[in-house]
Amino acid sequence: MSQLTISQVARQVGLQPSAIRYYEQIGILLPAQRIGGQRRYDASVLHRLAVIQQARQTGFTLDEIRELFFGFREAATASQRWQRLSRRKLAELAELTAQIKTMQRLLQKMMECCHCETLDQCGKGIFKKGFAEVRAKSLSLNRRTGR
Amino acid sequence: MSQLTISQVARQVGLQPSAIRYYEQIGILLPAQRIGGQRRYDASVLHRLAVIQQARQTGFTLDEIRELFFGFREAATASQRWQRLSRRKLAELAELTAQIKTMQRLLQKMMECCHCETLDQCGKGIFKKGFAEVRAKSLSLNRRTGR
DNA sequence: TTACGACTTAAAGTCGACTTTAAGGCAAGG
DNA sequence: CCTTGCCTTAAAGTCGACTTTAAGTCGTAA
């Protein structure tokens, strides 16, 4: 009775069924029990998915989430696991913030100081300053829909 | 004489030749003059690429860069173009910063307050709080090498 | 019996910004 | 004449997190 189908689970956690199949495929959800070929879940999968969603919300990749579940010695507690991964992620986010700030400063300065008529003129200025400074570790900020 | 080959240009601006071909293909660089089938450039392409690199560094996508060059009435000055795009980008970056802060707060709180033994226990807690709050507009922070 | 709805799988498609690969061209030097 | 080195093109591959598609299966209700 408390056996849920994949789309019932999906609805409860706000995911598409395909996402749940994908999670199983890449090994962050254990293969579900099948009945007549179809997946059946009990409530524990909701907790598992809650952890996954929480981790996604805080910026973890699916690889990191796999690490959360399987990258520790058996005896490690949940809070120990979160500690280690969170510390790392906080450092990443701090670096990301720093890079965003750099962008903001550059944009501000350009808005204030650029009085160029043409983009070629503008480029001439940028080129002379040896603009190729920070290039090495810039990062792209890709948006995602989330649905 | 002051005609540059594609890899000379690439070296000067810190790009791969393939990136320059790609820029031509998607229309943010105009097709170059050919000599014996090969692209030849003069110094003006360096300015153009300097603008492109500057824009990339400040978080613009290639679509936005195309807009910078071609999305304005002919008479618009460079500084007007930068103003409009920069204003928009600054707003985006501010939103991004806000989302990062949300992640940081969540991570901090979890590091301080989670004393769970097991991840299932942890998920039970998250699940009960109706965790599916902000899901709608989260974004992923994908890194890129930059080389 | 047949239609329906919900499920299954494997494979391919999506997005952005490129890179890599395969197959070939062209000019200069030995 | 042939090799070397740099160039050309079109097409396919990469990464991450999925979604979409195509073709098929299962149980139930009419």
pLDDT in tens, A57-98: 999 999 999 999 999 999 999 999 999 999 999 999 999 999
Average pLDDT along chain A: 90
A105: chain B residues, CB-CB within 8 Å? none
Closest nucleotide to the alpha carbon of B52, via C1' = C17
What is the reported pTM? 0.90
Most B-contacting residue of A127, A134, A145, A147 (CB-CB within 10 A), to test interface: A127
Residue in the structure block whose two tokens are 């393939």: B18
Shortest CA distance from A123: residue in chain B:
B47
Give the span between the Cα atoms of B13 and B98, in whole angstroms: 33
* Alpha-carbon separation of residue A16 from A25, A28, A43, A97, B111 (angstroms): 14, 16, 17, 31, 29
Regions of chain B where pLDDT drops below 70: 1, 131-147
Which two structure tokens, joined as six digits, stand for B63?
A: 């679509």
Classify residue A44 as exposed, middle or buried by CB count within 10 Å of its CB (0-12, 13-18, 19+): exposed
**Tell me: the pLDDT tens digits for A92-101?**
999 999 999 9
Contact A122 B69 (CB under 8 A): no
With beta carbons less than 8 A apart as the criterion, state whether B53 and A136 touch. no
* Alpha-carbon separation of residue B65 from A25, A68, A106, B55, B139 (angstroms): 38, 39, 16, 7, 22
Half-sphere exposure of A89 (CA within 13 A, CB side): 30
Beta carbon of B31 within 7 Å of strand C?
no
Closest Cβ–Cβ partner in B107, B132, B147 for A90? B107
